[in-house]
Structure 1
Amino acid sequence: MTEADRILVGVDGSRGSRAALRWALRYADRAGGEITALIASGIPAMIDIAMPMPGEGAAEHAAAVLRQVVAETRASADDGRHVRRLVVEDHGAPALLAEAASADLLVVGHRGRGGFAGALLGSVAQHCVRHAPCPVVVVRDALSS
């Protein structure tokens, strides 16, 4: 990667997304590049039925979660690298895929949900792997394995 490469990381506050951000920070430290951490403020879709978007305050809440996750993860990684924060008022997978159109790498966490819950809720990581216009790295949180 070069200094101009763009690394997009999906963040939702989960341990998996924190692990993805830690991975991206380490990768960017070694390979270079700019990191954008994206959080979606839409309610996840269930079984192809889009849920209504949350009311007022959802974007502000998402921005606060994103600020906290980025700050805590950078501090725990002892990394002073700038991380651009982006709040998108959409569902997770569509928001990540739209932004990935201008990214060189997409990094997402894996929550470890499987079986019926995984089938019912769908998987943002799986959807991104199948449809992203750039390479995708799925990071497992060591504690959820």
Structure 2
Amino acid sequence: MITAGSPVQADTAQADTAQAVTAQAVTAQGGGQGLVVVGVDDAPQAQAALAWAVVYAQRTGARIHAVTAWSATPQLVAGPELVTGGGMSDPLTDQHLQVAAEERLSMAIAALPLGTAELVERSALPGDPATVLVEAARDAELLVLGNAGRGALASAVTGSVAARCAHHAPCPVVLVPDPARCARDEE
């Protein structure tokens, strides 16, 4: 696992260092197929991960595959609403969830610097995010994810997608921190 600063905010030396470290990890693990998979959700660190992947792809010629996962979450109702049926809304259909996931990907890609969106392939897939990302990274040289930086205990309790991917991915994993957290740490 590689933790990288965002080259969008980092100076050129840091970006070059991140690329060199990443290239060493890819070579060491037999990667180099030219595909970078990026996990995208609505968190700022996911946007930073996508931006990092774009810079990496521009420097190496790799292809980028942005992936988001969705799954139906059961609606839980408690209290008087359970007895009266109040508070129940129509459950979201798979089609609604697919459309929402595709919109999330479109917004993330639209936020990239001008002229870079064409570098990005996209997929919105049903399933558990960690499982979907590990499967998508099967033939990738890198899996790039945003990292909330919650710490080991919080990740163990909540089941961090980044932690699960780092343990099960078939390729090196680059974790890109939340840009706001990096700015706070530099102060």
Between the aligned partners of 1:94 and 1:80, the Cα distance in structure 2 is 26
| Bigger Rg, which one | 2
Number of residue equivalences: 136
In the alignment, is residue 64 of structure 1 matched against residue 103 of structure 2? yes
**Alignment match of 1:16 (pick from 40, 45, 50):** 45
Q: Over aligned residues, Cα RMSD in angstroms?
A: 2.5
**Do the aligned partners of 1:8 and 1:100 also contact (CA within 8 Å) in 2?**
yes
Mapped contact 1:22–1:73 kept (Cα < 8 A): yes
Equivalent of 1:109, from 146, 162, 166? 146
Asked if 1 retains the 8 angstrom alpha-carbon contact of 2:33 and 2:139, the reply is no
Deviations 1:51-78 (A, max 9, x none): 6598311111011011011111244xx6
Structure 2 counterparts to residues 39-50 of structure 1, below 5 A: 39-42=68-71
Q: How has the CA–CA distance of structure 1 residues 134 and 115 changed in structure 2, closer, same or farther, with 3 Å as cutoff?
A: closer
- Tell me if 1:55 matches 2:92: yes
Matches within 5 A, 1:1-145: 5-42=34-71, 52=74, 55-56=92-93, 57-75=96-114, 79-114=116-151, 117-145=154-182
For 1:112, what is the secondary structure of its paired residue?
coil
Give the superposition deviation at 1:121.
Answer: 1.7
Aligned-partner residue type, residue 177 of structure 2: R
Q: Which runs of 5+ in 2 are unaligned?
A: 1-22, 24-31, 76-90, 183-187
List alignment gaps of at least 5 residues for structure 1.
Answer: 44-50
Cα offset for 1:119?
A: 3.2
Partner AA of 1:21 in structure 2: L
Q: Deviations over 1:18-49 (max 9, x none)?
A: 01001000011111110000000126xxxxxx
Cα distance in 2 for residues equivalent to 1:34 and 1:52: 36
Match of 1:101, SS state, is helix
Relative to the length of structure 1, the TM-score reads 0.82
Distance in 1 (alpha carbons) for counterparts of 2:178 and 2:118 = 22
TM-score relative to the length of structure 2: 0.65
Identity %: 37
How far is the alpha carbon of 1:136 from its aligned partner?
A: 0.8
Alpha-carbon distance in 2 for matches of 1:42, 1:91? 7
